[in-house]
Amino acid sequence: MSKQSCELYLITPPKIDPDAFAEDLAAALDAGPVACLQLRLKEVSDDEIKRAAEALLPVCHERGVPLLMNDRPDLALLTGCDGAHVGQQDTPYEEARRTLGDEAMIGVTCHNSIHLAMEAAEAGADYVAFGAFYPTETKEIIHHAEIETLETWASFSTVPCVAIGGINHDNAKPLIEAGADFLCVITAVWKHPEGPAAAVKAFNALMAST
Ligand SMILES: Cc1ncc(COP(=O)(O)OP(=O)(O)O)c(N)n1
Ligand SMILES: Cc1ncsc1CCOP(=O)(O)O
Ligand SMILES: [Mg+2]
């Protein structure tokens, strides 16, 4: 079967008990293809992030799923993550690349800006992320993204683009149709009423049929 053109990119819930979450994660990853997981824990100690990475790395790697560290290329290196995601206020892309080396996967937040995305892509980013597309309770949103930005990006760049922000099964289709290579999701997977595995299945069914 050929690979579908849009894939699911998961981020961890904002707060986790690493050992308990490792079980939810295993169930989610076993439910269908997931391209990548990002470990995103804000306002916790480095030790907590390291403990979480230790618990989640084997779950991801046993299933061939790369684990990216949010914000902290230094901790990505220390814990053996496969890469990092950096925002415009975080470690600059070039420094992240120097820290992690050529093989690492590094993504960059570009809000709604083709200009930022071109800078990131020219510098060597593995993907550019646009968002937030829809209202979200996960993060206070300053930058809102338009679906046309995905279309514009997809029309001329071969660097993959990620769509993020309030994405759920009911609002995802236009993002897929606009050319998003990845849908990045938190709430609609981890808080799905039927559980994360059902959510992963439903996203994959939607992406396969769009
Ligand atoms: C895939 C992806 N896209 C965007 C973000 C947001 O990054 P940033 O703007 O640095 O905000 P925080 O996530 O650090 O609060 C992301 N993490 N992942
Ligand atoms: C980290 C981040 N960056 C832009 S929106 C967002 C949160 C996405 O979470 P959710 O899928 O719960 O809306
Ligand atoms: Mg950040």
Q: Whole-prediction pTM value?
A: 0.98
Give tens-digit pLDDT for 115-139: 999 999 999 999 999 999 999 999 9
Residue with tokens 């995601």: 85
How far is residue 140's CA from residue 143's CA, in Å, rounded to a whole number?
9
Task: Give the ligand whose atoms come closest to the C-alpha of residue 130.
Answer: 1
Is the Cβ–Cβ distance between 13 and 190 less than 8 Å? yes
Domain 7-209 matching CATH 3.40.50.300: the answer reads: no
Model confidence over 138-154: pLDDT tens digits? 999 999 999 999 999 99
Q: Is 53 in the pocket of ligand 2 (CB under 6 A)?
A: no
Distance 93 CA to ligand 3 centre (A): 12
Res. 1: pLDDT tops 60: no
- Choose the residue to mutate in 34, 67, 70, 153 for probing ligand 1, maximizing ligand atoms within 8 Å of C-beta: 70
CB–CB of 107/127 below 8 Å? yes
Distance, in Å, from the CA atom of 150 to the CA atom of 117, rounded to the nearest integer, reads 11
Write out pLDDT tens, residues 26-40.
999 999 999 999 999
C-alpha to C-alpha distance for 23 and 27, rounded to whole angstroms: 6
Q: Give the ipTM.
A: 0.99
What average pLDDT does the chain have? 97
pLDDT value, residue 2: 46
* Sequence-ordered list of residues with C-beta below 8 angstroms from that of 75, at least 6 positions apart, any chain: 46, 49, 50, 53, 69, 81
**Residue 111 confidence class, pLDDT cut points 50, 70, 90:** very high
Q: Is 107:121 a contact under the CB 8 Å cutoff?
A: no
* Residue whose CA is at the smallest distance from ligand 2 atom 1: 139
Mutate to test the pocket of ligand 2, among 108, 186, 200 (most ligand atoms within 8 A of CB): 186
Lookup: tokens for 139: 């993060």
What is the distance in A from the centroid of ligand 1 to the CA of 10? 12
pLDDT band at 3 (very low <50, low <70, confident <90, very high): low
Encode pLDDT of 82-108 as tens digits.
999 999 999 999 999 999 999 999 999
Helices marked H in 39-180 — which ranges?
A: 46-62, 73-79, 93-100, 114-123, 147-156, 173-178
Interatomic CA distance for residues 184 and 167, integer angstroms: 8
Q: Percentage of the chain surpassing pLDDT 70? A: 98
Relative to the CA of 187, which ligand 2 atom is closest?
12
Domain ranges in the chain are 7-209
* Cis amide prior to 145 (ω within 30 degrees): no
Q: Which atom of ligand 1 is nearest to the CA of 87?
A: 10
**pLDDT value for 193:** 98
- pLDDT of amino acid 23: 97
* Annotation: binding site: 38-42, 70-71, 90, 109, 136-139, 166, 186-187
